[in-house]
């Protein structure tokens, strides 16, 4: 029997970040890891929007980012905890994920205000990690 195979490309807009301190809905973009021969450490850039009103009245994004960025590396790694980038299919199922190990926020640009723009304030961060792990989608499939 000759089965016809199809290919579906990943889309750049179906993804989610999982982290204990940063809710997934504030992420607007993230750079997947760049890997160099012989190295698993590196940096990834991500962009957030700064919410004015939040369901959690205790959530203060600038303060959270300052606390995560200004502590020493060991404290920052422990405070940030697990950081995952998940690629999703059209039903929202995980296709694959990148797990950043020993990660911490090493840089925060709190953006700027501009009377000529009606867009949301963008905050750019650098996530520095000691190791990155790739988990293929078939490990997440349920049969």
Encode pLDDT of 58-67 as tens digits.
678 888 899 8
Q: What DSSP string describes the chain?
A: --PPP---PPPTT-EEEEESSS-GGGEEEEPPP---TT---EEEEEEEE--SS-SSTT--HHHHHHHHHHS-HHHHHHHH--EEEEEE-TTS-EEEEEEEES-EEEEEE-----TT--SPPEEEEEEEESEEEEE-GGGT---
Name the percent of the chain lying above pLDDT 70: 83
* pTM, rounded to two decimals: 0.80
The rounded distance, in Å, linking the Cα atoms of 63 and 79 is 13
Give residue 89's pLDDT band: very low, low, confident or very high (50, 70, 90). confident
Looking at residue 10, what is its pLDDT? 63
């Amino acid at each position: 029997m000759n089965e016809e195979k199809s290919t579906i490309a990943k889309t750049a807009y179906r993804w989610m970040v999982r982290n204990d301190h940063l809710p997934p809905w504030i992420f607007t973009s993230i750079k997947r890891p760049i890997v160099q021969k012989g190295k698993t450490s590196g940096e990834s850039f991500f962009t957030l929007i700064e919410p004015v009103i939040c369901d959690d009245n205790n959530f203060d994004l600038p303060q959270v980012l300052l606390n995560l960025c200004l502590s020493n590396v060991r404290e920052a790694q422990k405070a940030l905890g697990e950081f995952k980038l998940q690629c999703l299919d059209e039903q929202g199922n995980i296709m694959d994920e990148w797990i950043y190990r020993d990660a911490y926020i090493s840089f925060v640009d709190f953006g700027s205000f501009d009377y000529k723009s009606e867009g949301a304030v963008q905050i750019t961060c650098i996530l520095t990690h000691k190791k990155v792990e790739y988990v293929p989608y078939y490990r997440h499939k349920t049969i």
